[in-house]
Structure 1
């Protein structure tokens, strides 16, 4: 299993293929070049264009191959460096949120598609086809490739989208606020660490927000630039007790949201808070990073399930449930050969973290840069079908 985390105060540098001795151009004939049919020559460098969920946000440029440096670990396994080949989209033209610095060190693709980082690591034989994420309350976190979780975790199955497991979708049976479980609050949601906050279908949002408003012991208020409707003032310098929010799944599995509110601070401490959920059009929701805080979330792609267990991101046990394969971890594992036949498929962009007032909390872009000395203004691409595209 391979894990990585970075410090939030680390200096970031733009990545340039010309300054990397290990970079290689990906030609239009490469099997991972989705736009190969648009090229004038098969030897031309492969282009990409991505239009993201955030309004008017896009990236276009050229694909390159380079080396991702990871650290292996686990019970009975000595720590060692692992070099793995990955696909990098070097952005030449950015728009929207990227011009505002939403992801200064890039976006890492973690979806099920062929060119995502977990897919390439699994296909090279380095890891089991699974990974876990952990977000702490201070917006730090860790990612572990090959992690299939612990024996005490709960889980729910991934659901196909149009018959294909092209993204991480789960089905919520019901929502509970405090001890009150609400009727007609079942919904499907995409689990997306690239979205900072959570969006729910309109009818589910209204039911949760109204029940939360009845149970919370605080006065309604508004905060400048807040995107949230249900906000409250704090009568003390500490956050008052807020109702719990629980997502219920099949077989009585439950997911208690540790962090359903966004807190506002002033010179004297906490000034207020908002229920950090917004309504979205349609019947599909998005489970964002704020719901993931306090958990070790396992994306078990082999068994097509999402699993979770409570974690502070420091107590992850690297045990036998997280095997590595193979053992020759110091070898560089190449991508498929450049001239192989392209596989039909369509790469759709991931969701970029939606902005929040003054603190976008886009921890995923800070955390998942994986033990490399260069941190990049780049985009690690993957095939991910967004329900909102």
Structure 2
């Protein structure tokens, strides 16, 4: 989910995959100064509670990944969008002047003994980007964030304890965490969601804040595909021990761009089967890796070339007369075995099967999970990231990929 710098495109609210993934801090293991958590995929239908507190979301059309943690003291459960495309952690807070509906109560700062306001002259306030920073009449540090899908949050910056819980009763309290207490919010969210957990490169993101305590600013995740069983677990790890290593690992440099704290990498081209399509771009950092966006977006001309080549290699007639698919490349089928698409990043070739490049738009209709964007850079969405163990290492400035059957990736690392 990309924050506006200015407005960019984030379309995770589309009717894309029929799933929501729950990243549940319910099984935690501290390893070499870092820690790992199990990720649980949840189907969009009503199923029994996972462990003792988690309820399956009911919406089937958001294509997001959800991270569970707790705010305040005593801890209050929180479910937020896991988002490598932004850097603010925020939740809906009382008084909620204009908030989107959520099933659980809004966070009440008055009920948390560790809640602390941040004032405009304090260092924490200066970590906000100047274009989103505000100052209230009471000299409290305010913010106003908006995202490419028209979601937004406005509120006050604050400090409080963020707690990670284990099913065995153990907890990891993270004190004095900076977050946004949102009093005026708009979002295309399921009513289980309460906000967004920014995992980007900015100073206020979760990884930037906890990195010094857990062995460095690094983390990895392995996202299961949407067709997995209800309780298929996988792993998200933070700090030491989260490095992606071993046979089959490929890495590409992270490119730093001033005032834009995204995970930029360089895409050289894409192959459809054995046919290579060059992006014809000399620009470094022309793709953003974003877990808050479902589809992958490419510059218009290159996207059109890719679609034309996919049409040549899929031995089916595409749907061209159904307006509900909005001009997308779709096929009436429940299974595709080809084509194999390879994204060629600088130093890293990532092979994608149809389960990572097509989504089920409706029963027995599969649509191509690549869209076009009017800018000269693209967005690498979360569907293409499934079944890869992906490690972001901000200390070494690389992102690493390892093909992994994520729904069988059970062991904590």
When the two structures are superposed, what TM-score results if normalisation uses the length of structure 1? 0.69
Secondary structure class of the residue paired with 1:256 = strand
Shift of 1:290: 0.9
Q: Which residue is equivalent to 1:194? A: 292
| 1:143 pairs with 2:236 | yes
Distance 2:136 2:115 in 1: 23
Q: Which residue is equivalent to 1:312? A: 405
Distance 1:102 1:135 in 2: 22
Secondary structure class of the residue paired with 1:32 = helix
Q: Which residue is equivalent to 1:173? A: 268
Within 5 A, what are the aligned runs for 1:288-303?
A: 288-303=381-396
Q: Which residue is equivalent to 1:15? A: 107
- Of residues 226, 238, 244, the one that matches 2:325 is 226
When the two structures are superposed, what TM-score results if normalisation uses the length of structure 2? 0.65
CA contact (8 A) 2:225 2:383 kept: no
Q: Which runs of 5+ in 2 are unaligned?
A: 1-33, 48-53, 56-102
Distance 1:184 1:198 in 2: 15
Which string of whole-angstrom CA distances, capped at 9 and with x for unpartnered residues, describes residues 88-108 of structure 1?
21221123xx15548823211
- Of residues 214, 226, 239, the one that matches 2:335 is 239
- Of residues 189, 206, 210, the one that matches 2:308 is 210
CA distance 1:110–1:228, shift in 2 (3 Å): farther
Shift of 1:220: 1.1
CA contact (8 A) 2:133 2:141 kept: no
Which string of whole-angstrom CA distances, capped at 9 and with x for unpartnered residues, describes residues 249-308 of structure 1?
334x31012310012443xxx2x2111111101210000111101111111111111101
CA contact (8 A) 2:318 2:330 kept: yes
Distance 1:195 1:184 in 2: 21
Within 5 A, what are the aligned runs for 1:63-78?
A: 63-70=157-164
Q: Which residue is equivalent to 2:118? A: 26
CA distance 1:306–1:28, shift in 2 (3 Å): same
CA distance 1:25–1:184, shift in 2 (3 Å): closer
- Of residues 11, 32, 35, the one that matches 1:2 is 35
Within 5 A, what are the aligned runs for 1:249-268?
A: 249-251=345-347, 253-258=348-353, 259-266=356-363
Q: Which moved more, 1:217-226 or 1:206-215?
A: 217-226
Task: Give the superposed CA RMSD.
Answer: 2.9
Shift of 1:317: 5.2
Q: Which residue is equivalent to 2:6? A: none
User: Which has the larger strand fraction?
Assistant: 2
Distance 1:305 1:130 in 2: 10
Secondary structure class of the residue paired with 1:173 = strand
Aligned residues: 300
Within 5 A, what are the aligned runs for 1:118-157?
A: 118-123=207-212, 125-138=213-226, 142-146=235-239, 147-152=242-247, 153-157=249-253
CA contact (8 A) 1:2 1:70 kept: no
Higher relative contact order (CA 8 A, sep 6+): 1
